[in-house]
Amino acid sequence: MANTNDTMTVKVWRGDKNGGAYQQFVVPRQDNQTVLDVVSWIQQNQDPNLSYRFACRVGMCGSCAMMVNGTPRWTCRTHVNKVLDANTLVVAPLRNLPPIKDLVADMDPFFDKWIDAGGHHDPSASRYDAMPQIAPDDAQRAVANESIECINCAVCYAACDTVAHNENYLGPAALQRAWTLYNDEKVNDTDAVLAAVSGKGGCHNCHSQGSCSLYCPNELNPMRAIAGLKAATIKHQLKRGR
Amino acid sequence: MIKGIKGHRNHPLWYAYALHRVSGLALVLFLPLHFYVLSLALTQPQRLDAFLHWTEIPAVKFAEMGLVFLLSVHLLGGIRLLVLELLPWSPRQKTWAAVAAGGALFVSGAFLLNAV
């Protein structure tokens, strides 16, 4: 198929953890077409061996993120019109994570760090205690609410140069989760949250480049959350010193 | 935005980071030389005088403007980071980065006008 206005060039990374290369496809253009549609078209019509990951197709599950023309995107809600550069799409597995095969990145380091940052619920009360009453317009609850829409897509993790240069760095998503927990009244030990994020690889490694906040598909602001953690850990340390 | 810069880096706050890093490294290289020249006042006054004479060349004055820019952009950028991290959040982060770079250009430009 010749590359006319009705088609586009799509370069797809093929390979595994030992390395790989881009393979070129020519894909029909459509008026309404997402990057995930393009990848699916290639898998269904050109090469059934192409591996990629998706589930919900509506921006809820966070499994279809890939690098698109050098930028991490949720591919199910990224329109080709918006990102096509010189009639070409370059699609690769998420940066900063080891590739498993083709467009599938190994998410284990991302979720391991979610746990390392204290990203689990440590309740302040048992089932036999009364439920704490928290007003929806409570100032602290408002701060906690800012980041709860994270879908774990790892777009921020792939966008971050600090993650690329420091393998211990917990990354924007895990630190943002810790900030939510720190502001959650139902969490038992917020000092433990601060301890988990202030060590080696913690929030103070962040260089405030802001790529996480710029590319978060849900328009969350991990840079603001990490800045909050930085201030909270410093305040905590000063209080302890007195 | 700038062609050729990787997609995930092509935005103002990443440039602010890069400028802060580059200016910091350049100052690390400059400061030992600076202190060495100052020490000549005690050890070899004639050599210091000769060096100071050399700094009157317009090209050197122009290079000094670059030094003043590095120093002021690193100072203003550092203040920006302290404000970002320690004071209540402001949504105008790109504006503050632009103010830091613009302020440094103003300071170094004023230095050059004063020097010539």
Interchain CB distance below 8 Å, B89 and A228: yes
Interchain CB distance below 8 Å, B8 and A159: yes
If one counts the domains in chain B, the total is: 1
Domain extent for B46: 11-115
Domain with CATH 1.10.1060.10 in chain A: 108-241
What's the DSSP call for residue A207? -
Q: Chain B contact for A15, CB < 8 A?
A: no
Report if residue B3 sits inside a domain: no
Q: Which residues of A touch B14 (CB under 8 A)?
A: 161, 209-211
Which CATH number characterizes residue B105's domain? Answer: 1.20.1300.10
Report if residue B51 sits inside a domain: yes
Per the structure block, which two tokens stand in for A78?
């990224």
Q: What is the mean pLDDT of chain A?
A: 93
Report if residue B102 sits inside a domain: yes
How many CA atoms lie within 13 Å of A167's alpha carbon, on the beta-carbon side? 3
pLDDT at B8: 85
The Cβ of residue B92 has, within 10 Å, a number of other Cβ atoms equal to 10
Which of A203, A204, A211, A237 to mutate: most B Cβ within 10 Å? A211
Kindly give the pairing relationship between strand A19-28 and strand A65-68: unpaired
Interchain CB distance below 8 Å, B84 and A231: no
Which of A208, A219, A220 to mutate: most B Cβ within 10 Å? A208
Domain with CATH 3.10.20.30 in chain A: 7-105
Window A:108-147, CB contacts with B under 8 Å? none
Does the domain at A108-241 match CATH 1.10.1060.10? Answer given as yes
Does the domain at A7-105 match CATH 3.10.20.30? Answer given as yes
Report if residue B109 sits inside a domain: yes
Q: Which residues of A touch B85 (CB under 8 A)?
A: 208, 227, 230-231
Tell me the ipTM for this assembly.
0.85
Report if residue B33 sits inside a domain: yes
How large is the average pLDDT for residues A75-83? 96
pLDDT at A119: 79
How many CA atoms lie within 13 Å of B85's alpha carbon, on the beta-carbon side? 21
| Alpha-carbon distances, residue A121 vs A49, A115, A190, A193 (angstroms) | 40, 10, 11, 11
pLDDT at A153: 97
Q: How far apart are CA B103 and CA B16, in angstroms?
A: 13
- Does the pLDDT at position A86 exceed 80? yes
Nearest residue in chain A measured CA to CA from B15? A209
| Alpha-carbon distances, residue A215 vs A48, B33, B108 (angstroms) | 30, 42, 34
Q: Which residues of B touch A78 (CB under 8 A)?
A: none
Report if residue B105 sits inside a domain: yes
Report if residue B6 sits inside a domain: no
Report if residue B32 sits inside a domain: yes
Higher-pLDDT residue of A125, A52: A52
pLDDT at B3: 62
What's the DSSP call for residue B69? H
Instruction: Work out the pLDDT band at B1, boundaries 50, 70, 90.
Output: low
In chain A, % of residues over pLDDT 90: 83
